[in-house]
Amino acid sequence: MDNFISFPKIGITLNIDPVAFKIFGFSVYWYGIIIALGMLAAMIYCFKVMNNFGINSDRASDVVIAGIIGGIAGARAYYILFSDELTFADFFDTRGGGLAIYGGIIGAFLLGLIMCKIRKVRFVPLFDVAAIGFSIGQAIGRWANFVNQEAFGSPTNLPWGMSGNIIQRSIGESLAAETFTTVHPCFLYESLWCAIGFVILHFLSKNYRLLKCF
């Protein structure tokens, strides 16, 4: 298999092409599709529960748009800033991946805060909503790292250790490994704890109106 991902100790091997499909010669990657699905799920949830937090959804829509723009720009800028291979001339070339969640949070927070001031939206309740939406979006979005075989952990002998052609190449370059090695599927760990966090926060937020909002 040219591009494989496997969990050898439980007998699962998948052949996943990072390119989902092509349209007019343009490649559409699974990475972008999964990230977009995560963002969409987060937005749908947030707009559905905004009234429970005393937020005007019409005004908040401008904040959400600003947050998305800031998040994408911040995630890309952060990735490039700490990359040894890319420069800011590559800012718009994201088809091969290259987004950092830390920069995304910073960018979304800053632009979202500015737009809250402009549109007179209470930012504390809105960011409370955003935190819950972020959890479900991140739970989905981390599977983009699975497809790209990135953000994996250290070598492990645990039954759920994963491997793949890109992972093996990366380990070989960094550890000079000559044997087939499995690593911690960190994408799965984060996806699971984000999903659990989403469920907990969702049920806790049902009593939000009883809390004092500033």
Amino acid at 208: Y
Rounded Cα distance between 157 and 122, Å, is 49
* Boundary-marking domain end, from 65, 93, 121: 121
**Is residue 48, in this structure, part of any structural domain at all?**
yes
- Can you give the pLDDT at residue 95? 59
Instruction: Residue 133: name the closest of 71, 82, 195, 89 by CA.
Output: 195
Residues 167 and 192 in one domain: yes
- Can you give the pLDDT at residue 7? 93
* R_g of the chain, CA atoms, integer Å: 19
Instruction: Residue 75: name the closest of 109, 52, 98, 46 by CA.
Output: 98
> In the 3-class helix/strand/coil scheme, how is 142-160 assigned residue by residue?
CHHHHHHCCCCCCECCCCC
Q: Please state at what angle helix 123-141 crosses helix 30-49, rounded to 10 degrees.
A: 150
Residues 197 and 150 in one domain: yes
Rounded Cα distance between 99 and 79, Å, is 6
Amino acid at 203: F
Encode pLDDT of 18-30 as tens digits.
888 888 888 888 9
Residues 110 and 158 in one domain: no
Amino acid at 108: A
**Is residue 212, in this structure, part of any structural domain at all?**
no
Task: Write down the mean pLDDT value for the chain.
Answer: 85
The predicted model scores a pTM of 0.79
Encode pLDDT of 158-208 as tens digits.
999 999 988 888 887 555 445 668 999 999 999 999 999 999 999 888 776
Encode pLDDT of 54-111 as tens digits.
888 888 999 989 988 998 898 888 888 888 777 777 777 765 567 788 898 899 999 9
Three-state DSSP class for 73? Answer: helix
Rounded Cα distance between 31 and 21, Å, is 12
**Is residue 154, in this structure, part of any structural domain at all?**
yes
Domain extent, residue 2, equals 1-55+136-202
Rounded Cα distance between 206 and 76, Å, is 35
Q: Residue 194: exposed, middle, or buried by beta-carbon count in 10 A (0-12, 13-18, 19+)?
A: buried
Over residues 118-147, mean pLDDT: 91
DSSP strand pairing (19-23 vs 26-29):
antiparallel
- Number of structural domains (the chain) is 2
